[in-house]
Chain A
Amino acid sequence: MTTTTHRPATAGADPQLQEHFDATIGADQRIEPRDWMPDAYRNTLIRQIAQHAHSEIIGMQPEGEWITRAPSLRRKATLFAKVQDEAGHGLYLYSAAETLGADRDELTEKLITGRQKYSSIFNYPTLSFADVGVIGWFVDGAAICNQVPLCRTSYGPYARAMVRVCKEESFHQRQGYELLLTMMRGTPSQREMVQDAVNRWWWPSLMMFGPPDDNSPNSAQSMAWKIKRHGNDELRQRFVDMTVPQAEKLGVTLPDPELRWNADRGHHDFGTPDWDELRRVITGDGPCNTERVARRRAAHEEGAWVREAAAAHAAKQAAREDAARRNAALGNAALSHKDGETA
């Protein structure tokens, strides 16, 4: 059961409410937090937004590993700022989930106990500094393909969050690609690093769009609700078409022998990702699943005393202010009483 602490009850809802909801979706208008919505719509959104928030937070780890080792101060600052942006995106998305009645602490609890998922891409390791560039180029690029349509998703706060997130992610993608362009102009060993990172990240990046449409159980309902507006395969195709010319300009080879332009379709044909691998990574058997969740759990648990202290201080502070106000009021009363006596 998802978090439902302060969400309005919808059981036995007026059929008129459902009609109104359907009409709003049908007219391509936004559902806002105070509007009535079906439980299933609310739960689907909470799950999707939470997963998205978790992905931002877990996604800080693979690149964050390189902040302390970035090979120039300029790259160090750029990377640090990017990882900071991801924390900001996570905060923004958790807030959007809270407008649906979810609670950030409970969502975090679900993440660190493995009951909610995050994007499987972040379960792969970052083995060299070139990975930082390739993640920017591929992973942020794929995220943009997925998220630009979400700027028009039917739930208002999610759509608005996506506008901000997409803007920053397009920065990140450009930064990543620019790093790779620079490295490709460097030493032979730098060019090898870039090609190696491309080889490792290409297929997992294609998997970011999810399983093929005919095997994607939740897609149809999400499309009907206009939470989702394009199929997984369509977005994957868009990403491939966008990336091929960028790879040519960069001078790297995408590791797919079947990749070629198809003039009839007006798109690139490409090979089939290893869906068994995706299933394994999603169900917890990726190379880094355990360490990613363990790191997040450790930070959360080791920070508990800090959060408790902040809450305790805030409560004490409020009590002190309250007492001061009451004393002042008493003082005033005493004063006016005294004035009365003198009068």
Chain B
Amino acid sequence: MNERSEPVGEGHMSDDHAHLSLAVAEADGDARWAFGTGFTDPLHGVDTAVPPTVQAPALAAYCLALGDDALVSAQRLGEWCTRAPELEEEVALANIGLDLLGQARLLYTRAGQAEGGGRSEDDLAYFRDPSEFRNVRLAELPNGDFAFSVARLLVLSAWRLAVFERLAGCPDPVLAAIAAKGVKELTYHRQYAADWVVRLGDGTEESHRRMQQGLDEVAPHLGELLTGETAFGTGAAPVADELTAVLRQVADAAGLTLPQTAPLPGSGRDGDHTEHLAPLLAELQSVARAHPGAVW
């Protein structure tokens, strides 16, 4: 597990995120648009043929599930835009959303290659129905308050980081490259979420109450991640152990309790979703589906 520094204080925090992103703009020039347009391709020079030792349908399904987690999470983070509690948080939440959107695009592209039917990232994002999505249900739940959103972000980013660290050595070179790039991003996401869980847990009576409630609300969804199927050498038990250890460490630092809740039955990985996924996708897909044959 990566080292976590002490949560940074508010005074320090008010400078950093905006200036970081502004500095990135200056240093990278056009690469600023990496997430959108002219990007430094993390797959540059990587052979995209599926290696003979890798089962293509399993690879496609796995990339799709990880891509769906990322897209659905990015959509929820996009909903925070113009609604965040502070401008620094506008910038930070958008950063995280953009990282996840970037991961979704790479994973969908890989899924399309592995399934061999020629579907593009946009085909997979915009022209599948809710029952075909394989994201965990935790990702699709509405944003709730800021405490719920950071509790969810902590869980999802800690889980995803544990998985990506292991996938960086997986037999598919493309998925390995995507995971290696994602590790750096997810390390920041987890740190950001952990810092806020600690601030809110420690802050005021109200923030403590809300933060505890946020943890209580994500707890029944942990089962989906802890017992979910794994693939390509990620190993369910070590990932589950790492996630549990991170959550315990953060909850301790925040003075909060990790609730022991029975997991909800079913899993988004099998296509079982809450009532919240269909409206999320209806919005996401609305313009693309309203204009058949259009180019964007």
- Tell me which of B75, B210, B293 contacts A305 (CB under 8 A): B210
Assess whether B296 is in contact with A71, with CB atoms less than 8 Å apart.
yes
| Interface residue SS majority, chain B | helix
The interface residues of chain A lying within 8 Å CB-to-CB of B26 are: 164, 167
Chain B residues within 8 Å of A87, by CB: 18, 87, 90-91, 94
Query: Is A88's CB under 8 angstroms from B18's CB?
Result: yes
Task: State whether the Cβ of B37 lies closer than 8 Å to any Cβ in chain A.
Answer: yes
- Check A73–B90 contact: CB distance below 8 A: no
Using A60-B81, A69-B286, A88-B18 as known contacts, say yes or no to A81 and B35 having CB atoms under 8 A apart.
Answer: yes
A233 at the interface (CB under 8 A from B): no
Taking CB atoms, residues of chain A closer than 8 Å to B200 are 306, 309, 313
Contact check, A71 vs B79: say whether CB atoms are below 8 A apart.
no
Contact A78 B104 (CB under 8 A): no
Which of A74, A78, A94 neighbours the largest number of chain B CB atoms within 10 Å of its CB? A74
- Taking a contact as CB atoms closer than 8 A, the residue among B36, B86, B286 that contacts A307 in the complex is B86
Residues A68 and B284 in contact, CB atoms below 8 Å apart = yes
| Mask: chain A, 70-92; 1 = CB below 8 Å from B; 0 = not | 11111111111101110110111
Report B71-99 CB contacts with A as 1/0, cut-off 8 Å: 10001001101111111111100110110
The answer for the CA separation of A189 and B203 in the assembled complex, in Å, is 53
Interface string of B92-111 (1 = CB under 8 A from A): 00110110011011001000
Which residues of B lie under 8 Å from residue A72 when comparing CB positions? 122, 126, 288, 296
Question: CB distance A175 to B81 under 8 Å?
Answer: no
The binding surface of chain A is classed by DSSP as helix
List A residues 48-74 near B (Cβ within 8 Å): 57, 60-61, 64, 67-74
| The stretch of A31-39, A177-185, A240-248 that contacts the partner chain | A177-185
Interface residues of A in 276-325 (CB under 8 A from B): 295-296, 298-299, 302-314, 316-318
- Contact indicator A306/B86 (Cβ below 8 Å): yes
B294 touches A71 (CB 8 A): yes
How far, in Å, is A36 (CB) from chain B's closest CB?
27
Chain B residues with CB under 8 Å of A186's CB are: 291, 293-296
For residue A171, CB closer than 8 A to chain B, the reply is yes
Interface status of A137 (Cβ within 8 A of chain B): no
User: How many residues on the B side are at the interface (Cβ–Cβ under 8 A)?
Assistant: 64
When C-beta atoms are compared, the residue in chain B nearest to A179 turns out to be: B296
Interchain CB contact (< 8 A) of B203 among A57, A73, A308: A308
| Contact status A309-B91, CB under 8 Å | no
Residue A199 at the B interface, CB < 8 A? no
B58 within 8 A of A: no
| A80 and B11 contacting across the interface, CB-CB below 8 Å | no
Asked if B131 CB lies within 8 Å of chain A CBs, one says: no
Task: Report yes or no: A78 in contact with B37, Cβ–Cβ below 8 A.
Answer: yes
Least Cβ–Cβ distance between A43 and chain B, in angstroms: 24
* Closest residue on chain B to residue A94 by CB atoms: B87
Are the C-beta atoms of B210 and A129 separated by less than 8 Å? no
Chain A residues with Cβ below 8 Å from B286 are 69
Give me 14 A-to-B residue pairs in the complex whose CB atoms sit less than 8 angstroms apart, sorted by A's number: A60-B90, A69-B287, A70-B287, A71-B126, A77-B102, A83-B81, A85-B25, A87-B94, A91-B87, A92-B22, A190-B295, A299-B82, A306-B200, A311-B10
Give me 10 other A-B pairs in contact (C-beta within 8 A), A80-B97, A171-B33 excluded: A60-B90, A67-B81, A80-B94, A84-B90, A183-B294, A186-B295, A298-B83, A299-B85, A306-B89, A312-B202
A-B complex: 6 closest residue pairs judged by Cβ atoms: A303-B85, A309-B203, A309-B207, A78-B36, A84-B94, A306-B85
